[in-house]
Amino acid sequence: MGAGKMAEFLDFFNIYIMGVTEMVFQFYFLAKILKKKIWAPFYFLFAVCAVIVNDFIPVRTIISFVMLVFLLTVCGTFVCRADFKSSLLHAALTTEIMLLCYGVVKSLMGLLYLLIPAVFYNTTGIAVMLTSEAASLVLTGFCYYMVYRYFSCYTAAEMQQMFLVFIPILMIFIMSEYINSIEFEFQYEVLVDEGSAGYLFNHWQLFVMHFLGLVSLFCILFTYKKLQQNFRLSTELSLLEQEEYSLNQYVEEAKTRYDKTKSFRHDIKNHIVVAKRLLQSGKLEEAVSYLEDMDDMAEKMSFPCSTNNPVVDILVGNKLGIAKSMGIAVNCSLLLPYPCGLRDIDICIVLSNALDNAIQACKTIEEGIEESIYVSGCIQGDFLMIEIQNSFHGKGIFKKGTGLSNIKTVAEKYGGAMSIETRENVFILHVLLIIPK
């Protein structure tokens, strides 16, 4: 094959064959990190379109980068049906990782060519190109795996904040493009001795700069992940502190009611004597009025929900009272051991989180669906089984939040378990606790 035809073949191979391969690789990773499943031919169609568009744009330019990010963002938004901001951020991240990985490998190939040219003299151009492309794809795949493995588990709120890393990514890209503008063409021809040192120095510079750019990118992602973890932990700690404060208030209220009840029981004989004397004296109206006052006093000391635990009675009564005021049908048939080895604070954590979630779920359901919350539980041997049923929208995948995580933590603390069940528009939470002896 003549030199001209070989050059044309290498150009075709590099632009179209490897170009399509690279684009398929990028789009596959984008769909993977967005956690979307795409029909396989879409990868090839996108790759062909991207190669055709890039064929009209000068390679290794900001315009080429922007166009590729734009195409990936469009596919992420309309084909993967992902959020626009998430698609844009991951499209830029995907493209930048591939550019930096290719930069690292080509710089290394340039160094090897200058340091041990004999190896390249005995190798065809297509073999060198295949080796370079294969090494670049392997490095890119490894970086993609690391990003997917360690930096892709973010909530929707965290993804909104993750846009803070977008500017550093662009700065790294601008730096790499500036490096490419200095010199990046792979040299196949024999260099004269006077110019070899200069090329060697330039390739070392290119390798170091691209490698530092790749490391900087992962440092940004790692730092962001740590910040999000710290923020998440501080948020959960703050919620737990607020919850503990509220539960302590319930405990104090329970003690106050208990003292009032104790005082009422102490005076009940005197009240009965007064009522009896009034009836014996024929003062019927005064006796009825006195008994009504006693009934009001007893009503104030009673709990809307009787679970056999005064602290839990106040908590559940308070939560179900809120739900009832919102028009939600409520029912409670919960019986707890008292006293027992289960700490009041732990039982309250389970019930308060479960009822808060239930009330929130009832708020979001569509019209026409009955809003209801049912709390039940009983003791069987050394086991306490609690069940909370509530209405919910019944659509999509239910995500476990901080509340359910707290419930699961308490269940595991007592050697029990937590499970979730959904039936059409009914959400059921099961909590099993083993009562310590």
pLDDT tens digits, one per residue of 327-353: 889 888 888 877 778 888 888 889 988
Average pLDDT over residues 184-211: 56
Residue 142: pLDDT above 90? Answer: yes
pLDDT band at 386 (very low <50, low <70, confident <90, very high): very high
In order of 103, 175, 190, 216, the CA distances from 206 in angstroms are 8, 11, 20, 15
Computed over its alpha carbons, how large is the radius of gyration of the chain?
35
The residues near 422 (Cβ < 8 Å, ≥ 6 apart) are 392, 394, 398, 428
pLDDT band at 191 (very low <50, low <70, confident <90, very high): very low
- For the chain, give the percent of residues with pLDDT over 70: 73
Q: How far apart are CA 80 and CA 74, in angstroms?
A: 9
Q: Which two tokens stand for residue 67?
A: 């166009």
pLDDT band at 254 (very low <50, low <70, confident <90, very high): low
pLDDT band at 189 (very low <50, low <70, confident <90, very high): very low
Q: How far apart are CA 184 and CA 203, in angstroms?
A: 8
What pLDDT shows up at residue 5? 62
- 3-state DSSP assignment of residue 13: helix
What pLDDT shows up at residue 314? 79
User: By C-alpha distance, which of 85, 72, 78 is closest to 30?
Assistant: 72
Provide the pairing of β-strand 329-334 with 372-380: parallel
Handedness of CA 362, 365, 371, 372 (dihedral sign): negative
pLDDT band at 131 (very low <50, low <70, confident <90, very high): confident
Tell me the pLDDT tens digit for each residue of 205-241. Answer: 778 878 888 888 888 888 888 887 887 787 777 767 7
Position with higher pLDDT, 190 vs 382: 382
In order of 90, 146, 211, 280, the CA distances from 207 in angstroms are 25, 21, 6, 107
pLDDT band at 195 (very low <50, low <70, confident <90, very high): very low
Outline where 83-192 has alpha helix (H).
Answer: 84-115, 117-121, 125-150, 156-161, 166-182
Q: How far apart are CA 74 and CA 56, in angstroms?
A: 19
What pLDDT shows up at residue 374? 93
